[in-house]
Amino acid sequence: MSGQKNSRSIPFFNYPALYNQNEQELSELVLNVLRRGAYIMQRDLEEFETSLATYLGVRHAIGVADGTMAIHFGLRAAGVGPGDEVLVPSHTFVATAAAVAHTGAKPVLVDCGTDHLIDPASASRFITSRTKAILPVQLNGRTADMTAIGKLADAHGLQIVEDSCQALGSKFDGRFAGTFGVAGSFSFYPSKTLGCFGDGGAVVTDDDAAAAMMRELRDHGRGADGLIHRFGFNARLDNLQAAVLNYRLKHYGAVIERRRAIARLYQNRLQGLGELLLPPGPDANAAHFDIYQNYEIEADRRDALRDHLTNSGVGTILQWGGKCIHQFPDLGLGADLPYTERMTQRFLMLPLNLAVSDDDVNYVCDRIVEFYRG
């Protein structure tokens, strides 16, 4: 075994360690914003919006309070409203469905496939005369098969709005997650691949009218002329967060490289274990460029494996606390989703972030091999 069994601690996430990696630069830029007293809708926000739009090759990037508002605004721009249905995978954060519900439309939950992303065949089975849009969730840093989603949308006249909150920089067929539909949404929650120091998000679009509407929605309905054109929200991205994101976006390429390297290491070390289903590897399919927001496996005897890892000092997480949206009875969105149902008994996320070393990954893999092979 390449690692040693000892009293190591590999937390699932380590916020202080990530801050410490760039402490001086980050502290200085925060102080710089404070000294300028530049808090709301200031130049750091404008710079970040321009940089993000350039990075993604889109006409508009609009900083908003969080990913949930980004999805909500994208749906509003797509014309989703009361009486409509929107197809959403159940394997997602409740925020995806909430963003739909807050438009007055109904989220209709569909199944996922072995890569844990929306299954287009399942989605097609839930289409009705009320279906207005499909909301693929580009989960764990992977972009869904957008050719299949596009065909489904074309065949049924559906709008596409992407929940790409976990997928900044991920691509399908060379095209960035978030750029396939009317609008794409991003979250900068601190544990995201591009994270800020609190809540933050952005919605992106190529549609000028949609962009104008979403800019109004995030700022109390206020237009560029200073007049109120609709009831909006207080949902701006703070300038301080934008300054942090500006800095981090400049170094984002290296972040993605490292995350893919960690995923490759997990893949190489664990691929021989028949008890596990691993996420598709970084080099598995040329159509997919995954950025590994998470490394979510499926495991036989998942709970016992998790206990073993915990006892070995390795932090793991069950995404969404271990339940997908159709499994929250109070939401009244129960559905028969066989793959998702089985998956929730088996899914487990291993540590993958920039504070994790190769040695850490080897240690985690050694403990997993030891669990199944003794």
Ligand X SMILES: Cc1ncc(COP(=O)(O)O)c(C=O)c1O
- Provide the binding-site residues for ligand X, judged by CB under 6 A: 66-68, 92-93, 95-96, 137, 139, 163, 165-166, 187, 189, 199, 201
The structure tokens 């601690």 sit at 9
Decide whether 74 or 282 has the Cβ nearer to ligand X. 74
**Strand ranges in the chain using DSSP code E only, listed in sequence order:** 60-64, 85-89, 106-110, 131-134, 159-163, 171-172, 175-176, 183-187, 201-205, 276-277, 288-289, 295-299, 347-350
Decide whether 145 or 360 has the Cβ nearer to ligand X. 145
Decide whether 133 or 368 has the Cβ nearer to ligand X. 133
The alpha helices in 196-337, defined as continuous H runs, are 208-218, 239-250, 252-270, 302-311
Q: Give the DSSP letter string of 53-86.
A: HHHHT-SEEEEES-HHHHHHHHHHHTT--TT-EE
CB of residue 95 to ligand X, shortest distance in Å: 4
- Axis-axis angle for helices 302-311, 358-373 (nearest 10): 130
DSSP structural state of residue 276: E
CB of residue 166 to ligand X, shortest distance in Å: 5
Residue 71's region, left for phi above 0, alpha for psi from -120 to 50, else beta, is alpha
CB of residue 138 to ligand X, shortest distance in Å: 8
Closest alpha carbon to 184 in 110, 101, 77? 77
Decide whether 64 or 265 has the Cβ nearer to ligand X. 64
Decide whether 97 or 364 has the Cβ nearer to ligand X. 97
Decide whether 339 or 372 has the Cβ nearer to ligand X. 339
Determine the residue type at 188. F
CB of residue 2 to ligand X, shortest distance in Å: 32
CB of residue 256 to ligand X, shortest distance in Å: 17
CB of residue 319 to ligand X, shortest distance in Å: 9
DSSP structural state of residue 326: G
Looking from the CA of 88 toward its CB, the CA atoms found within 13 Å total: 29
Determine the residue type at 304. A
Q: Give bridge partners of residue 203 from the DSSP assignment.
A: 62, 185
CB of residue 200 to ligand X, shortest distance in Å: 7
Decide whether 67 or 178 has the Cβ nearer to ligand X. 67
